[in-house]
Structure 1
Amino acid sequence: MTTPDGDRPTDPEKWMAEVRQMRADKDEFFTDHPQSPIDPDYRDDFEGLNYFEPDPDFRVLARVRVYGNPDPIELDVTAGQPIRYLRAVIFEFELRGERIQMAGYRQESDDDRTIFIPFRDKTTGQQTYHRGRYMEMEPDDDLVNGDVVTLDFNLAYNPFCAYAETFACPLPPEENWLDVVVPAGEKSPPESIVDQ
């Protein structure tokens, strides 16, 4: 089977503007929203999150393998009891010349279509948060075997526990530890806003 190549945006400037706008919206949420993970005492020092420059090379087309009867898996969390998920799909794609498989999960009790994709890569603990990052996708319809979807690592983000230890966040399981460098998406949080 040939894995699809990357998904280059048809209008790169529009795509880049959309990514930058999403980042600006997130900075605004972190600055002002009552549910911001940043401690109110640190918000005056907040000047925005750290990101890699948007790079369309980290938008990939992934072929989907769907589990008809998803296997349950317990994901360890940063604090507290593991959380039970269903291993819903496997994404198969190429990134930086490597063929990669990565699992996507749904919460066992959740009926929505959102697929949770926690992962680590070779930037983890160096340029990016040491416990890994997340992506999510919400397909318009139920996925079936052979579907091809876009995974955009430029949208990878840190869990809230990167900003405050009061949050309990699922940790990426070993099957989603990628043996490639993924310099895309959110970097490690600014030290001035982290409550550790």
Structure 2
Amino acid sequence: MSPLDVLDWRRRIAELYAEVRAHGDPAAGHRWWVQGRERLLRDHPASPVPASARSSYPGGRYGPYDPRLRFRAGIDTDVAPCRLEIATGTDGVVPFDRIGTLRLPIGDLDVWWLGSYGGGVFVPIKDASAGRATYGGGRYLLDTVKGADLGGDPSTGLVVDLNFAYNPSCAYDPAWACPLAPPGNTVGAAIDVGELAVPGDVHV
């Protein structure tokens, strides 16, 4: 995997999310996202699925789309300052600053800003399904620096659709070190939608 492979991966992810935002029907957009994500996981040279496992990759599992878990939420910025410094496998120590909190019916989720070059919004989630139906370390909802952006704006709120929760790279290969959900991104509800636990035979 070369830096240009990673560049192409990020471009394709950004294009995929742009296509999702263009869909008038969120459920149809979700089907398009699943198909596109699976294609990239199986075939792209920068896929987090180990190269030795891609030819036998069985495909991921995704919960059925639930429109009740799609929200447009404003960011409550009246929160105490907080900084996380997270060691990652490829990017060194990555700083995140809390810029607010999303108040959702399923629980509150902190919103983080990538405090390094370029910046970006990052919203992970760990719910009661973690370690059972979903990856034990939690999943990502938004990671705009890498193209995972469902839309919205400061005046109308961010689009936060839990059906698009997806696994971090370390779910596929423990060689990756990924930022995982801190306590402010942990909720007590079970969210059995989005990308579910990775099949055990992916780790080859």
Is the shorter-chain TM-score for this pair beyond 0.5, marking a shared fold? yes
In structure 2, the residue matched to 1:4 is none
The Cα offsets for residues 107-154 of structure 1, whole Å up to 9 and x where unpaired, read as 111434x3111111000000000111111154565x36xx53321000
Matched, 1:106 2:113: yes
Matched, 1:135 2:141: yes
Q: Could you tell me how far apart the structure 2 residues matched to 1:69 and 1:122 are? A: 26
Paired residue secondary structure (2:37): helix
Q: Tell me whether 57-66 or 15-24 shows the greater mean CA deviation.
A: 57-66
Query: Cα distance 1:150–1:160, how it changes in 2: closer, same or farther (>3 A)?
Result: same
In structure 2, the residue matched to 1:165 is 174
Matched, 1:183 2:192: yes
Within-5 A mapping of 1:44-55: 44-55=55-66
8 Å Cα contact 1:75-1:172 kept in structure 2: no
Question: What RMSD over aligned residues (CA atoms) do the two structures have, in Å?
Answer: 2.8
Q: Could you tell me how far apart the structure 1 residues matched to 2:191 and 2:184 are? A: 16
Q: Could you tell me how far apart the structure 1 residues matched to 2:37 and 2:51 are? A: 16
8 Å Cα contact 1:163-1:189 kept in structure 2: yes
Query: Cα distance 1:119–1:75, how it changes in 2: closer, same or farther (>3 A)?
Result: farther
Provide the aligned length of Structure 1 versus Structure 2.
176
After TM superposition, give the deviation of residue 70 of structure 1 in Å. 5.1
8 Å Cα contact 2:126-2:138 kept in structure 1: yes
Q: Could you tell me how far apart the structure 2 residues matched to 1:78 and 1:176 are? A: 22
In structure 1, the residue matched to 2:129 is 123
Query: Cα distance 1:127–1:155, how it changes in 2: closer, same or farther (>3 A)?
Result: same
Q: Could you tell me how far apart the structure 1 residues matched to 2:94 and 2:24 are? A: 39
Letter matched to residue 56 of structure 1 = P
Q: Could you tell me how far apart the structure 2 residues matched to 1:13 and 1:111 are? A: 30
Query: Cα distance 1:107–1:13, how it changes in 2: closer, same or farther (>3 A)?
Result: closer
Where is the helix percentage greater, Structure 1 or Structure 2? 2
What residue ranges of structure 2 are gaps of 5+ in the alignment? 1-22
8 Å Cα contact 1:62-1:91 kept in structure 2: yes
Where is the strand percentage greater, Structure 1 or Structure 2? 1
Matched, 1:20 2:20: no
Letter matched to residue 180 of structure 1 = A
Q: Could you tell me how far apart the structure 2 residues matched to 1:117 and 1:27 are? A: 22
Of 129, 148, 154, the match for 2:157: 148
In structure 2, the residue matched to 1:38 is 49
Matched, 1:92 2:92: no
- The TM-score normalised by the length of structure 1 is 0.78
8 Å Cα contact 2:135-2:197 kept in structure 1: yes
